[in-house]
Amino acid sequence: MLLFYTLKALLSNLFVLLLCTVNFAQENADFIEDFRNSKVVYADLGMSTAPFNIRNTFPNSIDKISYKNNFKPILGIGFAYKWFSMRVAFPILGNVRPKADFGETKQFNLGFDYTYKKVYLDLEYKILEGYAIKNATAWDTSQISLYPNDIKPQTGAFNLSLNAWYFDNVNFKMNALLGKRAHFKQKVQTWYVKGTFNVFGVENGQNSLIPIQLQNPAKGQTQATSFSSLDFGLIPGYAYANRFKNWQFSGWLGLGGVIQGKVYNMPNSSTRGFLGLAPRYDIRLIAGYSTDEVFLMFVTDFDNKSIRFNDLVYRQYYYSLRLVGGYRFNQAKTKHRKEKKKSN
């Protein structure tokens, strides 16, 4: 896991540098009620998890191995005013799943986003350490039925993503979509293109990811200690937002692909690398209630990653669910000039 902690230190320093840069992105949409001159205080409660699976033709008619992490609920507290925005988040309570069945997961998340005119930029870094293989009794007779999962404290996943969304309609703004510092006043829809660059993977220290009972000596990838990839590509899609009285619902959906350089490492430290293509989808859904003073939004975020080595496929799913609520003090609406371009 040395790679994880090295990247964690480097990305933390980069994040501090980015926060020191003052950005004055302008919103000029006539379809948006802007509250940038209000002091916004909010809190959010939710969860973020990252299960993955490995598919292949394994012995005993097994075609999939599922790995689950043991996440904790996360409480966030934030404040926003004019160009300044800050949020602090920390885990609360205990693990959602029993430690005896799923072990314990260490998790680190880091994010940065910025809006400029029609473009929304997002930088995200995640690392997780500690997984459990579900229902290992199907191939491992040493597992007892009372605790059927095989706990793997060294198994970890990492994901570094840099994404940029270009929205064709200037009236579609991320601040209004998220609902804290602005909200939509009427229907706004647009097509968009997402450019994405990712470095991600999963590893198990010096040990194979796949249990020895399911390995095939003729297929080196089944003995691999890690799968990793660097990929980039484009995802076109459609974004939509609407408001009915004080209720707002919005989101987007896209489908595209990436060019992918992928490798797997063996226990003897040898590495095999390949070049290929991989599909990607892009989904985000947000809905809730917002007045000039108060707001309560349900926010979802989905991300998917995959690597294929012939008939072996590794798929990672990152997703988060959050309930965000807050209050806007000293309400002062920003006046926008009329946009020539109308909503589609």
CATH value at residue 299: 2.40.128
Name residue 208's beta-bridge partners.
none
Residue 243: inside a domain, yes or no? yes
Question: Cα separation of 272 and 57, whole Å?
Answer: 20
Strands (E), the chain: 32-34, 39-49, 52-55, 64-69, 74-81, 84-91, 106-116, 119-133, 150-167, 182-184, 188-203, 226-244, 247-265, 271-290, 294-309, 312-329
pLDDT at 258: 95
Q: Does 84 map to a domain?
A: yes
Residue 23 belongs to a domain: no
Task: Tell whether 83 is covered by a domain.
Answer: yes
Q: Of 339, 23, 29, 343, whose CA–CA distance to 183 is shortest? A: 29
The count of structural domains within the chain is 1
Domain contains 33: no
Residue ranges in the chain modelled with pLDDT below 50:
1-29, 335-344
The residue assigned the tokens 């040493």 is: 142
Match 């799968």 to its residue by tokens.
227
Q: Which of 165, 122, 182, 135 is nearest to 318 (CA)?
A: 122
The closest of 228, 222, 226, 225 to 139, measured between CA atoms, is 222
CA dihedral of residues 8, 11, 12, 18 (deg, nearest 10): -170
Cβ-Cβ contacts under 8 Å for 260 (sequence gap 6 or more): 229, 230, 231, 275, 276, 277, 278, 307
Structural domain that includes position 311: 2-18+46-329
| 229 close to 261: Cβ distance less than 8 angstroms | yes
Does some domain include residue 34? no
pLDDT value at residue 55: 95
Instruction: Write b or e for each residue in 27-47: b if 16 or more Cβ atoms lie within 10 A of its Cβ, otherwise e.
Output: bebbbbbbbbebbbebebebe
What's the token pair of residue 1?
């896991």
Q: How high is the pLDDT of residue 87?
A: 84
Is residue 36 domain-resident? no
For residue 281, being part of any structural domain is answered with yes
